[in-house]
Amino acid sequence: MRITQGTFSFLPDLTDEQIRKQIEYMISKNLGIGIEYTNDPHPRNAYWEMWGLPLFESKDAAAVLYEINSCRKVKHNYYVKVVGFSSVRGVESTIISFIVNRPKHEPGFNVVRQESQGRNIRYTVHSYATDKPEDERY
């Protein structure tokens, strides 16, 4: 199963050149750039671990790509994404995010059905990755 979160996630993985073009676009729009990683890509897990400090004032796409590649090297079996933040008053939010690294094996999710009072049925999503301890997930 292929995890689909963020922009471009239904497309094939971006090449380094395509990633660089997206970084240049984010820099041209004065977005703060952050690099995040996780081994639990649950759809409600919006807060991934930060790789270093956000690059709020970076004007060099090569420097951002260097940080992305450093994170990929250390966290090669994790999901790694790039996030662009807007600091414009009234927005102050994520404008763009896309995955730049995936583990070789993506275990996916299970939908769990729960019957409750009356005829109510609740559904929850369970990540197969969390069945193992954190350092053994991938």
Residues whose CB is less than 8 angstroms from the CB of residue 33 and which lie 6 or more positions away in sequence, other chains included: 23, 26, 27, 54, 55, 56, 58, 64, 82, 83, 84, 85
CATH for the 16-106 domain, from 2.30.40.10, 3.40.50.300, 3.30.190.10, 3.20.20.140:
3.30.190.10
Q: Dump pLDDT digits (tens) for 24-83.
A: 999 999 999 999 999 877 777 778 999 998 888 889 999 999 999 999 999 998 999 999
Q: Where are the domains of the chain?
A: 16-106
Question: Above 80 in pLDDT, residue 133?
Answer: no
Note the pLDDT of residue 122: 86
Q: Dump pLDDT digits (tens) for 95-113.
A: 999 999 988 877 777 778 8
